[in-house]
Structure formats: C-alpha cells, structure tokens
Amino acid sequence: MLTNEMMYQALVAKDSSYEGTFIAGVKTTGIFCRPTCTAKKPKPENVAFFKTTKEAILHGYRPCKVCNPLEKMGETPPYISGILRELAEDPSLKFKDWDLLQKGIEPSKIRRWFLKNHGITFHSYQRMFRINSAFKKMKEGETVTAAAFDSGYESLSGFNDSFKSIFGVSPVNSREKQVIDLTRLETPLGTMFACATDQGICLLEFTDRKMLETEFKTLSKLLNAVIIQGPNRHFDLLRIQLNEYFEGKRKVFTVPLFMPGTEFQQRVWQELQNIPFGSLRSYKQQSISLAKPECVRAVANANGMNRISIIVPCHRVIGENGALTGYGGGLWRKQWLLDLERNQR
C-alpha cells in the first residue's frame, strides 16, 4: 500500500503516524532514519526505503545519530526507568528537585519528559502514584489514617485534599469508587497506554489514537473508577507477551482481559479473539459466525469500540473486497501487523 511517494511525503512531514512502517536510507550519506527524523531532508532520488532497520543495515546503511532508529520510539530513558522502579517498590518515596540533582538528573529534563509522555509533571505523577497506593491500602482494609501515612503523606488534611481532587469524594466516602491502573508501553509501532483492574487488562491503545480520551471517559463511567498511573499485577505479563508477539515468538495471548460493554459488544469482541493468528475475516464473515448475518454494520461498529488493540485482533478484519478499512491505530499500523503475522505464519 505504501508507495515511495507516500513514504517520502511522510518523511518530509515528519509524520509520526508512519513510525514503524518504513525506514529511509539516505544514499548520499549512507545513514538510515525513522520517518520522524528532524535532520535535513534529502532529495527524493537520494532516498531508498526499507521495511526494517535490519534490511537497511544489510544494504550497508548505518543508523542516524539524530533520530536513533535502532531505539524504540518514545522509549523510557534508563535514568527515568530507575526512578520508576524505586517508586513501584516504595510509593511513599518523594523525589524532590534536590534528590534528582543528587542522582545526576536535571529536574527540568525529567519534567519535560513527563509532560510530553504523560501530560503531567513528574511531581504530579508522584502524587497520583501515592494516592493510588493509599486507595488500594484502604480497599484492603487499612484505615484512612494508616493508608495516608503509609503512602508518604505528612498530614491527614493534605491527604484528604489530594484524594478529593482526584476522586471527587473524600476517602471515607469512596467505598463505591474503583481505580483503573495506567501504564505506558513502548513498542516497535510507537507508544501505547495500558489500563488494568484486578480482573485483567481493560485497555491497550496507541497514545495517538484520536478516540483515546473518549475511551478513558467511557471506562471510568462504566466502572465508576478513576484512571491513575500505578502498578498492576497484569502489566508485567502484558509487557512480556507483547514483546514476544513483536519478536515473532507468540501467536496467542494468555494475559487476563476485562472488557466491560454490552452483551452484543462482548460477543463481537470474543469472536475477534477466535480469528487465528495470520488469518483474515471480512465483516460479513464475522457477522455470519455470530449468527447475525444482517448485522454487518453493527458488528463493524462494535469492532471500532474495541479498547484492547492487538490482543483482541480487530486488525484481522478487512473489507469484503479485501481492502483495509478503518483502524483506530491507523491503517499503516494495521498493514504492519498483518505483514508481521503473515510472515510469521
């Protein structure tokens, strides 16, 4: 589907939606770049396009030092990964600017990274992480006071104010509330957000999906919950299995899923999971398998409401004429996933 002209236009525009779909080799310099590279653009006749970095290397190109195409797009820097590991082990920790400087980390640098990748400052991230920890302690039976001080708060009033600003109710009135844990994942196709409850993964979407905010709001409303950055026992398995999938080592996912929705939506989403790895179905075929041959449009709409990309493989559904149709992560990602599965099959 991707022509050289389309890829060159994406390269010039530094279009992030093409990340993971091609690599550009510059003939005059012998380097290869990702689509979003900010270096000066060569003329069209001086560019060779490849599907993977491996292919570019085999043709004698070396990686660009500006865009680092061998790294995953948006990958968390090691110094931030270390901080996040410490927070996960002890949510009561408070990293102030002085603490960061002692670790050799410039506070403004980590602030910019969190604003870009999480939409909040690092200090806000820490506060939400502590609130998440305190809420779970209360759900396990701890008193409000114990949960507050165990999570690093120095005063009960400060904890109450922070809790109410996030949950909309005071801690003592939060019995009916729930938390949906949120984390960030890096993949060869770009950064993804994952959400999970105790029951399982309830969202896995690319961060640039246009409907992402709507999906967050829908999940929050369905579960009477607040989405907050925090650890979840399902995230580690999700990371392992996603990496195995992208490496071509996994065809079936076993990580638990939790998919709240209407009865019809859940039937459609379950049927999606019945499509074998590397296989394709049309919307009509999917409707027939659901014993709803007259509901092609309704099935397509339910597919579009799927909140768990890749694992619930709506990318395996195409138009009856064989053409790719709408995909929340972008048609280029859909083609990439289909190519990956076809090659592995």
Catalytic residues: 314
Do 239 and 186 contact (CB within 8 A), yes or no? no
Give the residue from 83, 103, 15 showing the smallest Cα distance to 332.
15
Angle value at C-alpha 308, between 303 and 311, nearest 5 degrees: 100
Q: What residues does 191 pair with on adjacent strands? A: 186
The SS3 of residue 123 is helix
Give the residue from 141, 137, 225, 240 showing the smallest Cα distance to 187.
240
* Per-residue tokens: 118: 């999480």
Name the DSSP letter for residue 36.
T
Residue 269, C-beta contacts closer than 8 angstroms, at least 6 positions apart? 259, 261, 302, 306, 308, 312
Do 69 and 23 contact (CB within 8 A), yes or no? yes
